[in-house]
């Protein structure tokens, strides 16, 4: 990727400070000599937005444990991670630094981190409580922090930013995309995944505290408004769309009572069938064969090279 010095913008006074190209960022480098700002820590993790960390997030931290148990075998996770890693490899083959915003348990971050010899990989979560789970799963060289995606204190710092099924939780998604654009190196880009089609809106979205599902072209327009050029846009979860639609036409009585945890424990025969179908869909998508409809939209957008 084109050389561009990474910059920390002090959340305390706004002073700009170059960050080292090598070595950790979340230690002594993440401080300000001008005003003395340094991030407080919780369980060893830097809090870049401590007030937001105290408020908590839409996601129940207890859900991280359920996800950790499900991700290695559940039909949703492995095919999706393969698709996202494949798109990064295709569109950003020279990328050396990666940040996942909303890294959750760290499952996707780990898949991407192991896909190539990155110079730097970071993961960020709005809730510091979930970072302990990610730390146990990820390689030790991956740095983890608590952060507000709307106010990222980085400029020209990352070759690729990933944000997967997170934007729909944030009311100010346009602010997030502007923050992403500022934090990208010239020539770098974003890979975004969101739920698609408001006609699929259901109690599951309400339980997950989604703000929206995205219409076709909606996320692409927001990327362009943030100064990013859309280089790929595709539907995903096309093969599972009939089941998603059926589940919404026949809502399950216990959804709110169970917290939809039954979605993480499908029958093994059904899980195997859906996983094979989604793996086939991912193979088609990575070859450029996209279906017109799907439960998810994946967008790749690039910042102009200097």
Q: What is the pLDDT of residue 242?
A: 82
pLDDT digits (tens, 9 = 90+) for 101-112: 999 999 999 999
- Confidence at residue 59, expressed as pLDDT on a 0 to 100 scale: 58
In this prediction, residues 121-139 reach a mean pLDDT of: 91
- 7: which residues sit within 8 A by CB, 6+ positions away? 16, 17, 18, 19, 154, 155, 156, 157
Q: Would you state the pLDDT for residue 77?
A: 93
**Lowest mean per-residue pLDDT among 46-50, 63-67, 92-96, 120-124:** 63-67
For residue 259, pLDDT beyond 60: no
Domains of the chain plus CATH, in order, are: 48-303 (3.40.50.150)
- The DSSP symbol for 304 reads P
Q: How high is the pLDDT of residue 67?
A: 79
pLDDT (tens digit, 9 = 90+) per residue, 215-233? 989 999 999 999 999 999 9
What b-and-e string marks burial along 159-184, b requiring 16 or more CB atoms within 10 Å of the CB?
bbbbbbbbbbbbeebbebbbbbbbbb
- The whole-number pLDDT of residue 211 equals 96
User: Token pair of 165, please?
Assistant: 């099924």
Asked if 84 and 298 count as a contact pair (C-beta separation under 8 A), the reply is yes
Q: What is the predicted pLDDT for the residue at 251?
A: 55
Task: Give the tens place of pLDDT for each residue, 137-166.
Answer: 999 999 999 999 999 999 999 999 999 999
User: pLDDT per residue over 197-217, tens digit each?
Assistant: 999 998 889 988 999 999 989
pLDDT band of 190, cuts 50, 70, 90 = very high
Give the whole-angstrom CA distance, residue 48 versus residue 40: 8
pLDDT tens-digit readout, 267-300: 999 999 999 999 999 999 999 888 888 999 999 9
**Residue 120: is its pLDDT beyond 90?**
yes
pTM > 0.85: yes
Using only C-alpha atoms, what is the Rg of the chain?
19
Compute the mean pLDDT over every residue in the chain, rounded to the nearest whole number. Answer: 89
State the angle between helix axes of 173-183 and 218-225 in degrees (0 to 180), rounded to the nearest 10.
50
């Amino acid at each position: 990727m084109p050389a561009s010095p990474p910059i920390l913008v002090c959340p305390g006074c706004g002073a700009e400070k170059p960050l080292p190209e090598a070595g950790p960022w979340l230690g002594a480098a993440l401080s300000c000599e001008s005003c003395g700002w340094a991030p407080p820590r919780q369980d060893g993790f830097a809090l870049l937005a401590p007030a937001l960390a105290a408020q908590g997030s839409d996601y129940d931290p207890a859900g991280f444990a359920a996800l950790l148990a499900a991700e290695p075998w559940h039909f949703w996770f492995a095919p999706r991670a393969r698709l996202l890693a494949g798109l990064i490899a295709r569109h950003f083959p020279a990328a050396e630094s990666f940040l996942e915003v909303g890294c959750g348990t760290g499952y996707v971050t780990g898949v991407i981190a192991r896909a190539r010899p990155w110079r730097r990989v970071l993961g960020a979560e709005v809730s510091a409580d979930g970072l302990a789970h990610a730390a146990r799963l990820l390689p030790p060289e991956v740095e983890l922090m608590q952060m507000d995606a709307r106010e990222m204190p980085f400029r020209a710092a990352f070759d690729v930013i990933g944000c997967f099924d997170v934007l729909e939780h944030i009311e100010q998604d346009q602010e997030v995309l502007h923050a992403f654009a500022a934090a990208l190196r010239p020539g770098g880009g974003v890979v975004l995944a969101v739920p698609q089609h408001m006609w699929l809106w259901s109690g599951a979205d309400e339980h997950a505290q989604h703000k929206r599902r995205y219409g076709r072209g909606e996320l692409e327009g927001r990327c362009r408004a943030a100064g990013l050029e859309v280089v790929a846009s595709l539907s995903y979860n096309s093969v599972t769309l009939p089941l998603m639609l059926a589940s919404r036409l026949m809502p399950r009585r216990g959804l709110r009572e169970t917290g939809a945890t039954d979605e993480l424990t499908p029958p093994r025969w059904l899980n195997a069938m859906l996983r094979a179908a989604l793996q086939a869909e991912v193979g088609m998508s990575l070859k450029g064969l996209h279906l017109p409809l799907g439960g998810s939209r994946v967008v790749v957008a690039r910042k102009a090279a200097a």
